[in-house]
Structure 1
């Protein structure tokens, strides 16, 4: 029983610690993953060589991440021995939650989305500049409505990448599962583009697609869209096999028209985004965090009971 409740308790601890914000840069594992990935400059290689080199760099990095996280969680379990006494169970869950916290980032995600709205109230240029911190698209020509649309889409998409998916893989494979997922997601964010990085980042993009497939659909469901057939239809409008699901769910839940100019439109019959909709999207996303965490905690308990 102690093993069954250990991971759910650790999830609760991680979400509580998340309210305090992010650890310093020097101690942040995701920052370390980004630095490792930034060492590689593979775009000058021929396509086949770039693909092989990118795959090998990804595999080495994922192995290192898995090993370090396995060692850290194993050390905690060995030192505290959660089955020995109730207080040890609580202490072990607290330690695991502390290790899990940097691999998820609800508060930072919500704060960044709200910062876009605050910047828009100053000026359109300020809103565009703030949005550019959290999206890869060119923001310099976006209208005020398009800036809000992009912020809501990013909030929905990263609800999966930064919260639900790390918790899901923690439930499945413990701390190594969450850590390898965040490595895969970070690699895709840095390498997975259809430009000069395409071949070197192709492995990273496909790995992230595979690891995000189930969590993205779970994220869409916990956003409580009003119609499952409509969710399936709208989610398929985006080029990504996964990101369209939470974005479509958010669009349907709030009755909004969301889109990326020249690429896709979600819920075309919805109303235009208004100034208060970012706040509404944040509230919906928080409810999804609570529901999603409860579901994956139940999954973790079931797998180990």
Structure 2
């Protein structure tokens, strides 16, 4: 038996979310109900594991309707299955994220030309962050995909722009460096233990943290950001990366431990302290860093 939503005409669902200036145009469209049904059937056939309600899809489609006066074939030629997948990814559907990783993202490197493997990995990490994570309350950027062309081509353009950014030193710094004020927030402002660090020691701490982050691989930085800043669970990370949960959890733990060790090593090299004084400061910093990685990666 169909649910109440599935029993509603698709045209009615689309009109409920379309902009007012498009309503008359849509109401006059002959065969719109049949066209929407064909699109929805093609979506479900292309991505059978993905769960997305007709209303959620048509609400998303309404945002990306071609403007009034566009060629009549514009809606017919919509890459509906790709739009459906993008909509589900924007909503965080695990099966959609897995399909995006396997069928879209992993096909991109072959079209980027000859690049070092490390650069390819870096590019894919940034694509994941830019397209699949919402920032500042905004929806993920993949929600901006309109379905006018293939999703794979759209993602490839995004990736090519990132390659261009990475080719310049300034671009790399913009993408991956952490500002000093962000690093210093690893110790909570209201933490009385912070007062144990003199101003010059805090400056050294910032430099040590920056050096430690720079020494991490982009995959390690990405995993720490995704888990500690954006709050992605191990299950969602496993889906996004197409890896077993235990493997992803191990990589996150290893990245976290490596950051701690690198920070400690940098502090030991930069601070000209000895014996108990050095060990006391290092112990304080390490314990607070262990508890405050979310602030560090903000």
Higher RCO by CA contacts (8 Å cutoff, separation 6 or greater): 1
TM-score (norm 1): 0.28
TM-score (norm 2): 0.29
Larger CA Rg, structure 1 vs 2: 2
